[in-house]
Amino acid sequence: MSVNVSTLQARISGESTASSPLSTEEYFVNMGPQHPSTHGVLRLVLRLDGETVRDVVPVLGYIHRGIEKMGEHGNYRQFVHLVDRMDYLAALSNNWAVTMVVEKAAKMETTDRIQAIRTLVCELQRIQSHQLWWGVFGMDLGGFTPFFYGLRDREQLCDIFEKTIGARLTMNYIQPGGVMYDIHPDFVKDVKTFLAYFKSKLPEYDTLMSENVIIQERLRGIGKLSAERALALGATGPVLRASGVAHDLRKSEPYGLYSQVDFDVPVGTTGDCWDRYWVRMEEMRQSIRIVEQLIDNIPEGKTFMVKPAAKIKVPAGVHYSHMETPRGVLGVVLVSDGKESPYRIHCRTPNFNNLWCIGEMATGGRIGDLVAMLSSIDLVIPDIDR
């Protein structure tokens, strides 16, 4: 048995597959790593035949920081700080994913208050993340106004987080054993003000984008992904649900206080860009429902169960835990040898798996639709490269 290792150069060379009654020629275009619609440093090598996309080769690593290796050199509490920098639009979810696996492995107790606060802030962040996606999606499709609308409303949530947490992007808020600080005295009032405000603004989102005939024409039937292919390609989150698979860990393996709240899991039918758009729009409404049910019922109790400086030791073995972030399933494989730092830690990030659907969606389509497809997957590049 001998295994051959290939290179990027070999991958993009090869026979031309151009087919047209006209004399055409295949050519390559580098989309990225500095292309505005890739929202970061993603590079796609496109094999084009005229305007038809024949092949998409994602080239990664422009923001690879070796978070898994760094994790082996720090303790568990320090690793929570590193994962903020993966999916920076869902830093709280990332914090919670690591916290969850450490707490499960080390059998740490928590209170209902801790779980309620975690559930609340993560749902607020899901709204915040989808707001930004919505704005950027509109901008990628050529309309600049949605970007302002999305960021305007996101700002309100940033302010709420800043009051309680002190940070607007990289939170480090959810820690093994609790949450960093108790919620700000104004938190409940501020969230209610925000909900009333945002519910009045959501119809604007619909009139501006959802009901816009140009948007619908550009999204319907574009970038179709069947349920079988989505599963085979390991897609999760809104990308999988838009293809019609109602897989949501908040429902199937409830964590936090999700088992106590009532909400629906929106699913699509055809798995095109429109379905992915619609699923996320509906998820914002469902998140509002969850927050509304929890905000008046935050139980009393402690917000930190151990001293913040306490050393955490995880029993030797392989531990795994996963949760539903705004973009899909974030799983953490934690291998411990009983010491204070992990022996090996691996993050199964949602964007990494979702990215590969772009090849399936784009091949055979037009280059003009590629931006809409990319944006409908809602990629965050540091989460792919880690």
Q: Least distance (Å) from other proteins to the CB of residue 62?
A: 9
With CB under 8 A as the contact rule, the residue among 234, 244, 254, 301 that binds other proteins is: 234
Residues 294-323 interacting with other proteins (rule: CB under 8 A): 315-322
Residue with tokens 């087919």: 19
366 binds other proteins (CB under 8 A): no
With CB under 8 A as the contact rule, the residue among 45, 301, 341, 367 that binds other proteins is: 341
With CB under 8 A as the contact rule, the residue among 141, 171, 245, 284 that binds other proteins is: 245
The answer, yes or no, to whether the previous bond of 33 is cis (omega within 30 of 0) is yes
Q: Least distance (Å) from other proteins to the CB of residue 77?
A: 12
64 binds other proteins (CB under 8 A): yes
Q: Least distance (Å) from other proteins to the CB of residue 355?
A: 8
How many residues bind other proteins, per CB under 8 A?
53
Q: Which among 48-56, 150-158, 245-253, 265-273 is the span making contact with other proteins, rule CB under 8 A?
A: 245-253
CA distance 368 to 53: 10
With CB under 8 A as the contact rule, the residue among 33, 35, 50, 74 that binds other proteins is: 74
Residues 101-140 interacting with other proteins (rule: CB under 8 A): 104-105
220 binds other proteins (CB under 8 A): no
In the bound state with other proteins, the residue whose beta carbon lies nearer, of 138 and 266, is: 266
With CB under 8 A as the contact rule, the residue among 47, 113, 126, 247 that binds other proteins is: 247
Q: Least distance (Å) from other proteins to the CB of residue 333?
A: 5
With CB under 8 A as the contact rule, the residue among 72, 112, 182, 292 that binds other proteins is: 72
With CB under 8 A as the contact rule, the residue among 331, 374, 375, 376 that binds other proteins is: 331
In the bound state with other proteins, the residue whose beta carbon lies nearer, of 69 and 201, is: 69
Q: Least distance (Å) from other proteins to the CB of residue 327?
A: 15
Q: Which among 63-71, 193-201, 214-222, 282-290 is the span making contact with other proteins, rule CB under 8 A?
A: 63-71
With CB under 8 A as the contact rule, the residue among 29, 169, 214, 232 that binds other proteins is: 232
CA distance 359 to 54: 9
66 binds other proteins (CB under 8 A): yes
CA distance 354 to 43: 15
In the bound state with other proteins, the residue whose beta carbon lies nearer, of 135 and 238, is: 238
Q: Least distance (Å) from other proteins to the CB of residue 61?
A: 4
In the bound state with other proteins, the residue whose beta carbon lies nearer, of 166 and 338, is: 338
56-63 contact pairs (CB < 8 A, 24+): 56/358, 56/359, 56/362, 56/363, 56/370, 57/8, 57/11, 57/12, 58/355, 58/356, 58/358, 58/359, 59/8, 59/33, 60/384, 60/385, 61/385, 62/33, 62/381, 62/385, 63/381, 63/382, 63/385
Tell me which residues touch other proteins (CB under 8 A).
1, 3-11, 60-61, 64, 66, 68-70, 72-75, 104-105, 231-234, 245, 247, 252, 315-322, 329, 331, 333, 335, 339-341, 343-344, 346, 348, 352-353, 356, 385
